[in-house]
Amino acid sequence: MNCPECQSSKLNIYDSRHIGDHVVRKRKCMACDERFYTIESYMSAEELEAIEAIRREQHDTGNENGSTITPDSNNGDADDT
């Protein structure tokens, strides 16, 4: 969980409350003072898999970082002395 404004991971939880089956937390970014909420709730394994599938699709279409690793990109040519 990072700040939606500045992507900082330094977040402070200053309130949390139960609303039905959910826990709502008030968070504040210590870097930029952005305040926002997060919600925790139950999730079935099927729901989690569906979300991860969507995330993978988004990552595939918009990969700016190019995190794909090709295993045969470096096959030992460091020995040219």
Going from the C-alpha of 17 to that of each of 8, 28, 76, the distances in angstroms are 24, 15, 57
Neighbours of 14 (CB within 10 A): 10
Give burial (CB, 10 Å; 0-12/13-18/19+) of 29: buried
Spatial separation of the C-alpha atoms in residues 21 and 40, rounded to whole Å = 9
Which string of x and - marks every residue 12-51 that binds Zn ion (by CB under 5 A)?
A: -----------------x-xx-x-----------------
Task: Pick between residue 8 and residue 63 the one whose CB is nearest to Zn ion.
Answer: 8
Choose between 35 and 59: whose C-beta lies nearer to Zn ion.
35
Asked if 6 touches Zn ion (CB under 5 A), the answer is yes
Query: Near Zn ion by CB under 5 A, which window of 3-11, 16-24, 47-55, 66-74?
Result: 3-11
Contacts to Zn ion by CB under 5 A: 3, 5-6, 8, 29, 31-32, 34
